[in-house]
Chains A and B, each alone.
Chain A
Amino acid sequence: MLKSVSCVIAFVLAFLATVHAADKAAAKIGSPAPEFSLKDQNGNAVKLADFKGKIIVLEWTNPECPFVQRHYKAQTMTHLAHQYKDKGVVWLAINSNSGDTTAVNRHWAEQNHLAYPILEDSKGVVGKAYGAKSTPTMAVIDKDGKLVYKGGIDNDPDGDKSDRVNYVQKALDEILTGRSVSEPVTKSYGCGVHYEG
C-alpha cells in the first residue's frame, strides 16, 4: 500500500514538474492593452494612460543585443518613429532586462539621439504583462487602447532580405487607413529578455 502511495506521489510530482507554466498574464490581441507606469531615462513617470486616444507603439529593446544594435545602426525604429510621429503615433521603448538601470537607458538614448523615451522595466512586470520574450519585440495599441499587434519588427532575422516586410509599418498603415491589422501576431526573433531569476 505504502509503495503504491509513494508511486502516486512521485507520478504527481513528475507530472507537475513537466507541466509547462502558461503565460498567464500575457495580453491578448483585441483585449485592452495592460496599463503601466514606468520611469523614462530622465526619471520622469510615463503612464500608458497619458496617451489615451492615440496609436501607441511599444518597442522592447536591449542595448547589448546584436539584433537591436543592427536595427539601430540601420535606424529602423528611429526612422519609423519619426515618420509616424506627425501622424499622431506615440513611440515608447521599454527595457525589461533585470539589472539594466536608468543610466544604461540614458546612455543608449544619448548614443542614438532618441526622440522617444526608454522606460525602465527592470522588474520585468510590464514585459511579462505583454509576453515579451525577445528583443526586439513590438506591440501596437490602437486609439481605443486595444492591443492590435504583437510580434517581430519584421520578417528578416538575418537582415538580408530584399523583400523585407516591416510588420509595424504595415500595421500602422492599416490602422491609419481605417483597416484592421491583417497580421496581428508574428514570431519575434532576437535575444532573450533577461527577467529576474
Chain B
Amino acid sequence: MLRHRSWLFLSTLLLACVSCPAVEHARAKMLTDVRTVQPGKPFTVGVLLHIDPGWHVYWINPGDSGLPTAVQFQFPAGFDVGPVRFPVPRRFDLPGNVINYGYENQVLLTARVTPPKDLSVGSSIPATASVKWLCCEKVCIPGKAKLQATLPVDSRANPANTKLFEEWEQRLPVPPQRDSGVASATARLDPSGQATVTVVWKSAPARVELFPFPNDALSVKEVSIRHDGNTSALILRIDVLEGQKVKSDALPLLVAYDRDARRRGIEIDVPLEALKQQTR
C-alpha cells in the first residue's frame, strides 16, 4: 500500500517518455497542479519546456518564420479537456526586419481538465501529452515528445506545483473585462485597413507590445503604439493577402504589458466586417 505522500507525488509525476528522439536544445516535462484527481474537480495539466540559453521556441503565431509549438493532451473518455493556453510571448527582432514571437528559457503550456463525477477513489487515470516544437538559434532543430503520467483518484484535494502553475497562469492573456488593470479596451477597423486599438489603463503600465494571432488570409503590420497619460493607442495595418478570402469574423490581438514586475496580457478582437465588405 502506498502510504507516503512523497511516493504518491512521485508516482503521479511518473513520466514515461514514449518517444523522445535526441532533443538537443529543448526538453519537455508533463506536470499537473494536483497530485491526485478528485471526481468532478477541475485541475490544470501542462507541458513545461526548458529551452537552452540563446534558443527559442514559438508562440501560436510564430511571426515571419518558425513553427507554432503544438500540444495535445489526452485523457480517458469522460474527461473534458479544454483548449491549450499560450502565455504572453516575447518578441524577437532579427536583422532584415524578420520578426518572431516565442519563448526563451522556459514556458508552461496548459489546459484545464474537468474529470467526470463518477470516478472511483483508488483508481488510476492515465494521461498523455504530445508536444511538437521548432527550436531555433542560428539554426533550427525540430523536436517532439510524447509524455505520459498516471494520476490516482482521491476524494481529498492534493495540490502540486502550485507556485509554478500560478506564475504561468498570471501570464495568460485575459479578456479586458477580466483584467483589473484595464478601465476599457476597444478595437475598430476602418475600410482602408487601418485598425485602432484603444486601451484605457487604470494606471499606465510599462512595455506595451502587440502580438497578432495567426490568420492565413491577412497581412498584419504594426504601425505605431502611442501613449498619452493612461491611454494607449495601438495602430495596425490589416490587409487581405491577394487572392485570399477573409473567413473569420474577427482577428484576435494580444496586448502585452508589465504590471507589478510581471508580464501580462489582454486579448482583444478586431472586427473584420469592414474588410469582408470590401472583398465581396
A133 to B97 CA separation, bound complex (whole angstroms): 8
Number of B residues near A (Cβ < 8 Å) is 31
In the complex, residue of chain A having the shortest beta-carbon distance to the beta carbon of B221: A20
State whether A15 and B226 are in contact (beta carbons under 8 Å apart), knowing that A134-B65, A195-B95 are contacts in the complex: yes
A173 touches B (CB below 8 Å): no
In the complex, residue of chain B having the shortest beta-carbon distance to the beta carbon of A155: B216
In the complex, residue of chain B having the shortest beta-carbon distance to the beta carbon of A135: B65
Residues of B within 8 A of A14 (CB): 227
Q: Which of B136, B140, B224 lies in contact with A19, CB distance below 8 A? A: B224
Residues of B within 8 A of A15 (CB): 224-226
Q: Is the CB of A181 within 8 A of B243?
A: yes
A91 to B237 CA separation, bound complex (whole angstroms): 34
A65 touches B (CB below 8 Å): yes
Q: Which of A64, A128, A185 lies in contact with B241, CB distance below 8 A? A: A185
Q: Which of B94, B96, B140, B225 lies in contact with A128, CB distance below 8 A? A: B96
A195 to B136 CA separation, bound complex (whole angstroms): 15
Residues of B within 8 A of A127 (CB): 96
Residues of B within 8 A of A67 (CB): 140
A146 touches B (CB below 8 Å): no
In the complex, residue of chain B having the shortest beta-carbon distance to the beta carbon of A70: B142
Q: List B residues 88-136 near A (Cβ within 8 Å).
A: 94-98, 100, 132, 134, 136
The number of inter-chain residue pairs (CB within 8 angstroms) is 91
B82 to chain A minimum Cβ distance, whole angstroms, is 24
In the complex, residue of chain A having the shortest beta-carbon distance to the beta carbon of B62: A189
Q: Is the CB of B136 within 8 A of A191?
A: yes
A6 touches B (CB below 8 Å): no
A183 touches B (CB below 8 Å): yes
A164 touches B (CB below 8 Å): no
A21 to chain B minimum Cβ distance, whole angstroms, is 6
A197 touches B (CB below 8 Å): yes
A192 touches B (CB below 8 Å): yes
Q: Is the CB of B95 within 8 A of A194?
A: yes
A133 to B94 CA separation, bound complex (whole angstroms): 10
B259 to chain A minimum Cβ distance, whole angstroms, is 18
Determine which residue in B136, B139, B216, B242 has the highest number of CB atoms from chain A within 10 A of its CB, and name it: B242
Q: Scoring A residues 100 to 131 as 1 if CB is less than 8 Å from chain B, else 0, what string do you get?
A: 00000000000000000000000010011000
A58 to B64 CA separation, bound complex (whole angstroms): 19
A22 to B134 CA separation, bound complex (whole angstroms): 27
A92 to chain B minimum Cβ distance, whole angstroms, is 20
Q: Is the CB of B140 within 8 A of A195?
A: no
Q: Scoring B residues 16 to 44 as 1 if CB is less than 8 Å from chain A, else 0, what string do you get?
A: 00000000000000000000000000000
A135 to B139 CA separation, bound complex (whole angstroms): 12
Residues of B within 8 A of A135 (CB): 65
A53 touches B (CB below 8 Å): no
A157 to chain B minimum Cβ distance, whole angstroms, is 6
A68 to B213 CA separation, bound complex (whole angstroms): 26
A15 to B234 CA separation, bound complex (whole angstroms): 11
Residues of A within 8 A of B67 (CB): 157-158, 189
In the complex, residue of chain B having the shortest beta-carbon distance to the beta carbon of A133: B64
A191 to B136 CA separation, bound complex (whole angstroms): 8
A86 to B67 CA separation, bound complex (whole angstroms): 35
Q: Is the CB of A191 within 8 A of B244?
A: no
A187 touches B (CB below 8 Å): yes
B178 touches A (CB below 8 Å): no
Q: Which of B138, B142, B222 lies in contact with A20, CB distance below 8 A? A: B222
Q: Which 9 A-B pairs have the closest CB atoms?
A: A195-B96, A134-B65, A192-B65, A133-B64, A195-B95, A185-B241, A20-B222, A197-B95, A183-B243
- Interface CB pairs A-B, < 8 A, 28: A14-B227, A18-B224, A19-B223, A21-B97, A22-B221, A66-B134, A66-B141, A124-B95, A124-B96, A127-B96, A128-B97, A133-B96, A134-B64, A134-B66, A158-B67, A182-B243, A183-B244, A184-B242, A185-B219, A187-B216, A190-B65, A191-B66, A191-B140, A192-B66, A192-B98, A195-B98, A197-B94, A197-B95
Residues of B bordering A, CB below 8 Å? 64-67, 94-98, 100, 132, 134, 136, 138-142, 216, 219, 221-227, 241-244
Given A20-B221, A197-B95, 15 new contacts (CB under 8 A): A14-B227, A15-B225, A29-B242, A65-B139, A65-B140, A66-B134, A98-B95, A128-B97, A134-B64, A135-B65, A185-B219, A191-B139, A192-B100, A194-B138, A196-B95
